[in-house]
Amino acid sequence: MRTAREWVVSVSAVLALGAALVVAALAFSGRFDRVSTKLPPPRKVVLYTSVDDPIARAVVDRFRLDMQIIVELVGDTEATKTTGLVQRLLAEKDSPRADVWWSSEPMGTILLAREGVLAPMESPPYNIETGEAWPEEFKSPDGTWHAFAQRARVIGYNSRWVRATTTPMTLRDVVDPEWKGRVGIARPQFGTTRTHMAALVAWHGPELFREWLEALHANEVRLFDGNASIVRAIAMGEIDLGLTDTDDVWSGMRNAWPVAMNYEIVDERVSRTRGGQESPGGALRRPAAAGLPSMGSLTIPNTVSIVRGGPNPVQARILAEYLLSERTEIMLAQSEQHTMPIRPWISHSREFSTYVIPTPAAVDWERVADAMPEAMRICEEVLGR
């Protein structure tokens, strides 16, 4: 892993705060030097985040020590997570309290961007040594959000009662009658399950998605309040399998629970290019064998955005760049969640090789957002509210 890197904070505008303000460049050599430039009062920034509180606080505490800027952290409950904070940001649009929005997934962020809540931001440094720009697939075209630090959707299973060689490797295998009454998913109205359902519609179209969801319902799928509940139910033997996130499985393993996971494999018949083999309607063509095609594992990144018109715009820029820096990606990879950096020289290093997502699917997040209403309508019709 590269150990000596620069981290540059750039400010694109001089703010009318009574005096001109220039933020100096920061050097990274194992730690961030503190900001020597005097910032105007208040030396604080307001962060809204759907990231789990212990993880967010660890990053925020380090930012405060490095930058000498106080962070007012506003989180949300496990049940509503991103959706609750998104509604709050929408309600505060005309008089924003937040400066920065750090989301654990991109769907709410895209909604906020489309509603004009977020401000464009010049891409921060991605690779200082090579000058490589921020990858297009990890940012919005207008710069209102940047993505980093990914986790994956996986098929979790009980490693004590279920043989690894017999566990499903694709979503179409989950609806096999062998697993009838023994499969669980989180309620699709919230969180990453909501995102997952929309991605399936974006990839395969509503008809094939409905067919799969009806097969899942016929297989007596059980609904739970969240991904953590899925992993707990697997460990307790309530279910054998469940769709969940990598970070929840890592948490179960850390607790010595009998849980393991499969990353969804890629069908040979499915193209790995963006969008797959597209029909005129934009969906994947039905494969030769019946069932939902497998695109690989859906990877869900964190996103960072600056809130338009927030009270502390200079501090917001500093915090946003800090969150998107190599340092934060390393901290998150080292955390209990083991989210994977988008920077391959970090994610494929020896330290993090255990947590590499082996078969990531290509995702067009704007297209997934477009598919969300149809996905939720189908979920309600098939699974109920």
What confidence score (pLDDT) does residue 13 get? 35
Q: Are residues 292 and 376 in the same domain?
A: yes
Q: Are residues 346 and 233 in the same domain?
A: no
Backbone phi, psi, residue 377, to 5°: -65, -45
Q: What percent of the chain has pLDDT over 70?
A: 82
Provide the domain limits for residue 337. Answer: 5-144+301-355
Q: Are residues 28 and 55 in the same domain?
A: yes
Q: Are residues 131 and 224 in the same domain?
A: no
DSSP per residue over 240-269, as a string? SEEEEEHHHHHHHHHTT-SEEEEPPPBPTT
Q: What is the CA radius of gyration of the chain?
A: 21
Between CA 103 and CA 74 the distance in angstroms is 12
Between CA 197 and CA 178 the distance in angstroms is 23
Task: Give every CB contact of residue 346 below 8 A, 6+ residues apart in sequence.
Answer: 1, 326, 329, 330, 333, 352
- Higher-confidence residue of 176 and 271: namely 176
Q: For 229-243, what is each residue's pLDDT tens digit?
A: 999 999 999 999 999
Q: Are residues 368 and 234 in the same domain?
A: yes
The answer on pLDDT for 343 being more than 50 is yes
How far, rounded to the nearest angstrom, does the alpha carbon of residue 295 sit from its chain's CA centroid?
18
Q: Are residues 158 and 125 in the same domain?
A: no
Q: Are residues 124 and 41 in the same domain?
A: yes
What confidence score (pLDDT) does residue 75 get? 92
Q: What is the mean pLDDT of residues 190-210?
A: 96
Residue 61, token pair as written in the block: 């505490």
- Higher-confidence residue of 101 and 6: namely 101
Does residue 301 contact residue 347 with C-beta atoms inside 8 Å? Answer: no
Q: Are residues 70 and 169 in the same domain?
A: no
Tally the domains of the chain.
Answer: 2
What confidence score (pLDDT) does residue 313 get? 96
Q: Are residues 341 and 271 in the same domain?
A: no
HEC assignment per residue over 275-317: CCCECCCCCECCCCCCCCCCECECEEEEEEEEECCCCCHHHHH
Evaluate if pTM is beyond 0.85.
Answer: no
Q: Are residues 330 and 252 in the same domain?
A: no
Q: Are residues 163 and 60 in the same domain?
A: no
Q: Are residues 285 and 308 in the same domain?
A: no
Q: What is the mean pLDDT of residues 219-233?
A: 97
The answer on pLDDT for 278 being more than 50 is no
Q: What is the mean pLDDT of the chain?
A: 86
What confidence score (pLDDT) does residue 298 get? 98
Q: What is the mean pLDDT of residues 339-367?
A: 95
Residue 13, token pair as written in the block: 């505008």
Q: For 128-164, what is each residue's pLDDT tens digit?
A: 888 899 999 999 999 999 999 999 999 999 999 998 8
Domain with residue 258: its CATH number is 3.40.190.10
pLDDT band, very low/low/confident/very high, at 39 (cuts 50, 70, 90):
low
The answer on pLDDT for 70 being more than 70 is yes
